[in-house]
Amino acid sequence: MQSGAKTLSAGGGASLCCLLLLWLIYSHLLREGQLAVGTCEIVMLNRDSSVPRRTIARQTARCACRRGQIAGTTRARPACVEARIVRSRQWCEMAPCLEGEVCSLLFNRSGWTCTRGSGRIKTVTPLPKEPS
């Protein structure tokens, strides 16, 4: 009976060691510039406030999306969204505006506006993806 318990204990220790090794490899890969699936990060952000009462911001995000998803915007942050939303240009379906803002499509569906009750309006026009 004791030899069976020792074997079980050794097997459990080996499994734990294997899981620890896999976790270390996974965390190392994430540190080496890979994103976890379903996440995004901003890689470039430029702001131009040279015109009074107007700020032009351009940002580039990098995303690691699941199958059927594409980089988009949710709550004014880069996020993975359903690809059909971007293809159909139904931008407001991805909930791009902050809480308390109302989303409206631009007349030609080239982007959207987020309007606050105070009258502040943000207009967003996504740029087409550059060929890689």
- Domain ranges in the chain are 39-100
d(CA 97, CA 103): 6
Please tell me the predicted confidence (pLDDT) of residue 4: 47
Range in 3-12, 30-39, 115-124 the model is least confident about: 3-12
| pLDDT tens digits along 59-116 | 888 899 999 999 999 988 999 999 999 999 999 999 999 999 999 999 999 999 999 9
d(CA 32, CA 35): 9
Per-residue pLDDT averaged across 8-27, rounded? Answer: 57
d(CA 53, CA 3): 78
Q: Return all residues near 16 (Cβ < 8 A) that are at least 6 apart.
A: none
